[in-house]
Structure 1
Amino acid sequence: MNHLAAAMAEQGLLQEYIRPYANQHRTWEYALAHLPGLGRLYTKTLGRRAMPPGLARGDIREAAVWQDILRAGALHFGGARTRALVEQLHWRIQQRLAEVGGRHAQNARVIVGSYQVSHKAFARASGVKVLNYPTVHHRYIRRFVAEERELEPSFANTLPDWDQAPTWQEPELDMECEQADRILIGSQFARNTFIEEGFLAEKMVVISYGADLARFSPTPPRGEQEKIFKVLFVGNIGQRKGVSYLLRAYQAFRGPGTELVLVGSYSGDPKMMAPFRDQFTHIPHVPQSRLASIYQEAQVFVLPALLEGMGLVVLEAMASGLPVITTPNGPGDLVRDGVDGFVVPIRDVNAIVEKLEYLRAHPEERLRMGQNARERAKMFTWEQYRAKVTNFIGSLYENGLPK
């Protein structure tokens, strides 16, 4: 939503952007970031929420700030002990955003709302309603998760648990989807999940997200680097990303001179990783400045996604000159099979092994695919995303919905 709001602001289309806490580089935020001890904590948590160019301070209305700060603290200090509190605060933040949004939506010609917080605004708005839905349809997720729990019971606790969500969540998501005049999504896969749920194709608008090509870029191979064939995964480490299939594939593929690196936070109880713990290097969540160099140190990026709205990390890896092994379930729009990497079926361990072995045995082809991936990523920048989304919203602002 940050890039979407910034794009609207640059075109004079933004009346107000309602969101939780944002680092707007105010004087007190600068002072806080430079305090001994506390400054480092702030920089690693809430301070990371810097807004993209185009958003001025006057464009942003912050809501649920104290709940947001408490949640960030519970996430940083509490771990598993405060999981229930983190969840409770998450839902309170969503409810507060919905309330504030509802109070400010009546006179807007176009209202663009994020999923989970837009039902009250949509109910009161008289203008065109656009729902930004960055993942796949929630009922599709529920069905898929139930199936995956049966297939991979040891990783079941890393999947979304709908039974633990508030009873009002799903009805409000249903309401938002029904009330919306258009639903903005990131991939053809996400679009198809909505169509499976009975939505008209013309209600869905697919605009892929972007990568920062200046931050994520290739580096010339170094001799020492080439001695290790490093397989990289970035993202929430859980079954929604297909992590069990990656672990089993690497278990079959691994050998001298290979390494698997998992970057990100564990989803659910990390005990599911115990049987594989000696097979990978874990790097907890890192800032994007550090992430750029991690991509550059790898030889291949693997994301065997099961449920992905698009897969921003895939674009970042491609921008960094890495061939990608992924699935059609989200990132399939980005990667051209056999050109920028490989698109393999979901849950197919053997296919992942086969592609890893091919890329390791053919370094020239790996280099070629990485170069192709970089060129492909140039078609998916944040500048292009902003242009497409403002053209779309600007047409609604000027002309309303097509007759």
Structure 2
Amino acid sequence: MFHPGMQHSRQTALALQQLGRLAFLATGVFDHETSVWRRAGAYAPAALRRHIDAEFGRFATPGLDASLVRAFPQYELPERILSRIGLDAMAQLFDRFANDRFGKVVARLAQDEGTRALWGYDNSSLTAFNDPRNASATKILDRTIADWREWNEQVATIEDTHGDWLHPSLRRAPDWLIQRGEAEFEAADYILCVSDYVSGTIKRHSSAERIEDKIRHLPYCFDSRIYGSLPSPMPPEADKPVRFLFAGQLSARKGIQHVLEAVSALPPELASLTCVGPNLVPNALLSGFSDRVRFLGAVPRAEMPAIMIQHDVLVLPSYFEGSAIVLLEAMAAGLAVIATPQAGLGPTAKSGICIERPDSEFLAAAMIDIAKDKEKLLGMRRSAQIEAQCYDSAAYRSNIEALLDSIIA
């Protein structure tokens, strides 16, 4: 199994390890008790040590056997640094180079280990899949995002209404990225999709042979260690506003513009809003909402459960996702959910509201509907926590086992 550095890939590796089916995980950065980051942090001043722990703790997966992990930070850290300092074009260029180099390393490791299957992720699998050393291995492509041609259509919609909210890194997907995705579809034996939305965009846009026959569905999971034992929702206070939460990248792609416009249309005594996540919109746009919204910025993953249980409803009117894991985490924390179909797996009619498309008026109407009926809100929150059990780590592990039994002889 291989991916340069995604939380979901490490959770999948842990599930495979628990099933006794993980040969190795090749990744970029991996944090564990004896990692170089931890050893360096032990000698750092307290403030710097906390920063190191927060930064690299995002790459930790307790329980994942470090002896099965092959970490290659040289293929991941430079891209993250370039992106962090605003050099997005250089970060993309490095990503293309690093993914090809990383794929060659994976192909060699797979040959040495004698693996029967390669489980890779979008934009980093092509080189390993096409390497002749692994010709007999089953190639499984875990597609974590919808087809980029779908995003290009959505960008046009955002440009028409909120073009000034679009960060330069979120413009149209380049041709090379689309072509690489299409080549990965061709090279894969199976394509894993987390939701009907993702598989639907691939079927609509791809011309790869046997594309529909290759697609399998595998829902994501939340981390049961963190979200599996949170308290049940309590009845809301009658004289307090409903507490809405947006969690994720503050970007036009995730619909932050609609969230802010929607809450501005609601009276303060009815609704409050907290936004958590890194900001990808101009500060001048956010400042116009500072009297109604609490902006917390990016916070460590370990702090999110405590933030979630202080809120009632998660809102995510996204234009384009794979499936946002934050939806499942919020449901496990006992939050009702308002989301779009593009946001991914999320609420049923019992646990939230799925609005037709990203739109400020649609979102405001859904928020008002929930905020004005607190008995209904409590029922949704309790249902969300029950429904989330279908997406815990144990369910994910069982789904992986059934999938592998069906596709690998």
Normalising to structure 2: TM-score of the pair? 0.86
Q: Which runs of 4+ in 1 moved over 6 A?
A: 222-226
Map of 2:390 onto structure 1: 379
Shift of 1:43: 0.8
Alignment of 1:264-303 (within 5 A): 264-267=277-280, 269-303=282-316
CA contact (8 A) 2:223 2:393 kept: yes
Q: Which amino acid aligns with 1:94?
A: N
CA contact (8 A) 1:231 1:259 kept: yes
In structure 2, the CA distance between the partners of 1:67 and 1:231, relative to structure 1 (3 Å rule), is same
- Give yes or no for the alignment of 1:100 onto 2:85: no
In structure 2, the CA distance between the partners of 1:269 and 1:348, relative to structure 1 (3 Å rule), is closer
Alignment of 1:15-54 (within 5 A): 15-26=23-34, 28-34=36-42, 35-36=44-45, 37-53=47-63
Give the number of aligned pairs.
389
- Give yes or no for the alignment of 1:122 onto 2:129: yes
In structure 2, the CA distance between the partners of 1:288 and 1:329, relative to structure 1 (3 Å rule), is same
Shift of 1:189: 0.6
RMSD: 2.6
Shift of 1:315: 0.9
CA contact (8 A) 2:240 2:269 kept: no
CA distance in 2, matches of 1:244, 1:260: 13
- Give yes or no for the alignment of 1:59 onto 2:68: yes
CA contact (8 A) 1:3 1:52 kept: no
Farther-moved stretch of structure 1 (256-265 vs 109-118): 256-265
Query: The residue matched to 2:353 in structure 1 has which SS?
Result: strand
Map of 1:110 onto structure 2: 117
Q: Which amino acid aligns with 2:179?
A: P
Farther-moved stretch of structure 1 (271-280 vs 125-134): 271-280
Map of 2:187 onto structure 1: 179
CA distance in 2, matches of 1:214, 1:186: 21
Map of 1:201 onto structure 2: 212
CA contact (8 A) 1:213 1:378 kept: no
Map of 1:354 onto structure 2: 365
Among candidates 341, 347, 355, match of residue 335 of structure 1: 347
Shift of 1:309: 1.0
In structure 2, the CA distance between the partners of 1:178 and 1:74, relative to structure 1 (3 Å rule), is closer
Shift of 1:286: 1.1
Map of 2:148 onto structure 1: 138
In structure 2, the CA distance between the partners of 1:383 and 1:223, relative to structure 1 (3 Å rule), is closer
Q: Which runs of 5+ in 1 are unaligned?
A: none
In structure 2, the CA distance between the partners of 1:75 and 1:161, relative to structure 1 (3 Å rule), is closer
Q: Which amino acid aligns with 1:96?
A: R
Query: The residue matched to 1:13 in structure 2 has which SS?
Result: coil
Alignment of 1:157-168 (within 5 A): 157=167, 160-162=170-172, 168=176
Farther-moved stretch of structure 1 (262-271 vs 90-99): 90-99
Query: The residue matched to 1:253 in structure 2 has which SS?
Result: coil
Q: Which amino acid aligns with 1:351?
A: F
Among candidates 262, 265, 268, match of residue 252 of structure 1: 265
Shift of 1:320: 1.0
CA contact (8 A) 1:136 1:191 kept: yes
CA distance in 2, matches of 1:228, 1:138: 39
In structure 2, the CA distance between the partners of 1:396 and 1:214, relative to structure 1 (3 Å rule), is same
- Give yes or no for the alignment of 1:7 onto 2:15: yes
Map of 2:4 onto structure 1: none
Q: Which amino acid aligns with 2:126?
A: H
Map of 1:391 onto structure 2: 402
Query: The residue matched to 1:215 in structure 2 has which SS?
Result: helix
In structure 2, the CA distance between the partners of 1:38 and 1:84, relative to structure 1 (3 Å rule), is farther
CA distance in 2, matches of 1:27, 1:61: 12
Shift of 1:214: 4.9
Map of 2:328 onto structure 1: 315
Shift of 1:311: 1.7
In structure 2, the CA distance between the partners of 1:179 and 1:226, relative to structure 1 (3 Å rule), is farther
CA contact (8 A) 1:133 1:185 kept: yes
CA contact (8 A) 1:3 1:386 kept: no
CA distance in 2, matches of 1:246, 1:185: 27
CA distance in 2, matches of 1:154, 1:350: 19
Q: Which runs of 5+ in 2 are unaligned?
A: 1-8
In structure 2, the CA distance between the partners of 1:133 and 1:336, relative to structure 1 (3 Å rule), is same
Shift of 1:86: 4.4
CA distance in 1, matches of 2:401, 2:381: 31
Map of 2:377 onto structure 1: 366
